[in-house]
Chains A and B, each alone.
Chain A
């Protein structure tokens, strides 16, 4: 027992020391005129990692003085943030990183970074690139609670309602009745009464992104002037709808992977989830699947929080920053951005990419993306509280789970709101 454990430890140590030796070597060669920059991303091979490698390779072959190394960070934005913490502690930080929207304020207040505004001013002498590439709305996604631009929006996503057309047709549900949540409930009831199948699944991952979309589409505000404000009557009513759907067995309440699995197998008629699931649903569903714009409540408009990430420059040395900025700008060119979008299922963030023929051809071939692109006009920044934002998100997750297991809605939301606001003092 013990000796095998020690052997294992030695093996790990050996590998570690080899890694140290090799990184040491890497350092030495970078002293020449070629600038080496590292790009940290979260895209596993199954989630567009190959596309990242392809883009980086292309950049390296066209830019002789800059060599980019892409590093994959497991466990999405959370994992990248953990690695960035240890990198900062050891003083050896990457140059360009992907930051998820939920980490916006945490990143801005704890790490050293170069804002895109400063990068453009220092290296271009003007802000033409930023102004011409992004709309004001898109830029607002990447601002922290002080209104400062932290990075540039890179991948965007919106929630959409995926539908199983076969089930809807079989039980006589008209697609155009699904533009409101009230319509979705009626359809679910009709399906449940006739087949016993669930009508709807709303994604329940480790965040409340989709639930925020439902509240926002009932005229509720998640935050107002840096304070939580979701326990309003509009917020309560949105959750009341959700709770009733679950308790009347019209909506399935289950973890994310199982919920999507049930939709793909045809046991749930509709799934409210991120557009990033489109390729998975397209590949796995044996029925006629489609996507429509996220529903809203009667008398209100569709409003959804945006998902995805931004690119931020963490390079410290001015020469490194310059190279990082050059790389970033290249990544935002219409061609690169569309390649990226095709590989990951996210929507591109720049105007040039969204309007390019290449992207239009792509959405024509993949019509599920169209409602997501359309929803971008109704998107708002993902709520990020100025202080203890990650704990605030957990408080909202807790409230969701409590409500779905039958707790009183208005007192649960009020308690969650008070808890978040107490931390903003």
Chain B
């Protein structure tokens, strides 16, 4: 009896999570995969089977090609703004500034508490190229502000800055905490050996903090691409001519604005596979770490 309980209990404990995962994650993913082979408008009683046409469209359609390229640009920008810069600043705060560490933490963290919609609206107002306060200041020193919403690359930059405003503090704190968990005795030992600070950072600190940094890196990409959705939706709706759209916004546009569930599902599955690869990399690095340093 006791033994039997022991065998069943773990499964019972897992059950609530398993059901939730099944209902909200696994079944929808399977259903999305199924829908990606059909032409359907979300409500019609009949679905027309089209085979791989939707997948071929994802790669052949010039608009989708543009969107995939934009997605890569977004990833590069997000890595720079939301990963490299916070990392750099957390290193400075940790190793070069001794006072007010807590104050910085709080200051940087405040924007994370605001909704992105609010952020997006404030930024549209501030960055209005004709009537915004920044345009006004620039005008007074004789510079005319470019109309950024008419240029894909500028729109992407502005949208990335808005998400940067939102996630910078969170990523910064994660990285700083990671740096804080490196054993002090190793750092002290390096100091006694008079190893220069930059070598200490490159040869000791960065490798030891790899787990957290890869985690933040993946978060930056996966979460970042979802975060940029809000400003895209509020400010540019993907424009000018899909110049600021990315794969996630395009998935939404196809599904819930144009009611093309087939194309949308195919896009979603392709995005899902890309994220899966990223997750695989994360597991390799983050989980790999524990064998090395224990």
Question: A104 CB to closest chain B CB, in angstroms?
Answer: 14
Main secondary structure of the interface of A (DSSP, over half): helix
A268: interface (CB < 8 Å): yes
B44: interface (CB < 8 Å): yes
Given A206-B237, A257-B124, A401-B240, check contact A252 B130 (CB 8 Å).
yes
* Assembled-state Cα–Cα distance A85/B241 (Å): 28
Please name all residues of chain A whose beta carbon is closer than 8 Å to the beta carbon of B104 when the two chains form the complex: none
B residues with a Cβ closer than 8 A to A are 17, 20, 24, 41-44, 63, 124-125, 128-131, 147, 149-150, 235-237, 239-242, 256-260
Task: Identify which of B129, B256, B260 contacts A254 (C-beta below 8 A).
Answer: B129
Count of chain A residues with a beta carbon within 8 Å of a chain B beta carbon: 32
Task: Identify which of B43, B129, B240, B259 contacts A405 (C-beta below 8 A).
Answer: B240
Task: Identify which of B44, B236, B241 contacts A110 (C-beta below 8 A).
Answer: B44
* Assembled-state Cα–Cα distance A111/B42 (Å): 12
Given A6-B17, A258-B149, A265-B131, check contact A390 B257 (CB 8 Å).
yes
* Assembled-state Cα–Cα distance A6/B242 (Å): 36
Please name all residues of chain B whose beta carbon is closer than 8 Å to the beta carbon of A132 when the two chains form the complex: none
A402: interface (CB < 8 Å): yes
Total inter-chain residue pairs, C-beta < 8 Å: 71
Q: Would you call A78 and B256 a contact (CB within 8 A)?
A: yes
With CB as the reference atom, state the residue of chain A lying closest to B23. A13
- 20 new A-B contacts, CB < 8 A, other than A262-B128, A405-B150, are A13-B20, A78-B256, A85-B42, A88-B43, A106-B41, A106-B259, A110-B43, A206-B257, A254-B149, A254-B150, A255-B124, A255-B237, A258-B124, A258-B130, A258-B149, A265-B131, A390-B259, A394-B257, A398-B63, A402-B241
Please name all residues of chain B whose beta carbon is closer than 8 Å to the beta carbon of A242 when the two chains form the complex: none
Please name all residues of chain A whose beta carbon is closer than 8 Å to the beta carbon of B130 when the two chains form the complex: 198, 252, 254, 258, 262, 267-268
* Assembled-state Cα–Cα distance A391/B63 (Å): 14
Please name all residues of chain B whose beta carbon is closer than 8 Å to the beta carbon of A402 when the two chains form the complex: 241
Question: B232 CB to closest chain A CB, in angstroms?
Answer: 11
Please name all residues of chain A whose beta carbon is closer than 8 Å to the beta carbon of B149 when the two chains form the complex: 254-255, 258
**Which residues of chain A from 69 to 98 have a CB within 8 Å of any chain B CB?**
78, 82, 85, 88-89
* Assembled-state Cα–Cα distance A332/B179 (Å): 67
Q: Would you call B131 and A255 a contact (CB within 8 A)?
A: no
* Assembled-state Cα–Cα distance A110/B129 (Å): 43
Please name all residues of chain A whose beta carbon is closer than 8 Å to the beta carbon of B17 when the two chains form the complex: 6
Please name all residues of chain A whose beta carbon is closer than 8 Å to the beta carbon of B20 when the two chains form the complex: 6, 9, 13
A253: interface (CB < 8 Å): yes
Please name all residues of chain B whose beta carbon is closer than 8 Å to the beta carbon of A88 when the two chains form the complex: 43
Q: Would you call A255 and B235 a contact (CB within 8 A)?
A: yes
A118: interface (CB < 8 Å): no
Given A6-B17, A391-B258, A398-B241, check contact A255 B42 (CB 8 Å).
no
* Assembled-state Cα–Cα distance A402/B256 (Å): 23
Q: Would you call A110 and B235 a contact (CB within 8 A)?
A: no
Q: Would you call B235 and A254 a contact (CB within 8 A)?
A: no
Most chain B beta-carbon neighbours within 10 Å: one of A82, A254, A255, A405: A255
Q: Would you call B44 and A261 a contact (CB within 8 A)?
A: no
Given A198-B130, A254-B129, A254-B149, check contact A78 B257 (CB 8 Å).
yes
A-B contact pairs, 6 of them (CB 8 A): A88-B43, A254-B150, A255-B239, A261-B131, A262-B128, A404-B240
Given A9-B20, A390-B259, check contact A253 B241 (CB 8 Å).
no
Question: B266 CB to closest chain A CB, in angstroms?
Answer: 16
* Assembled-state Cα–Cα distance A255/B131 (Å): 13
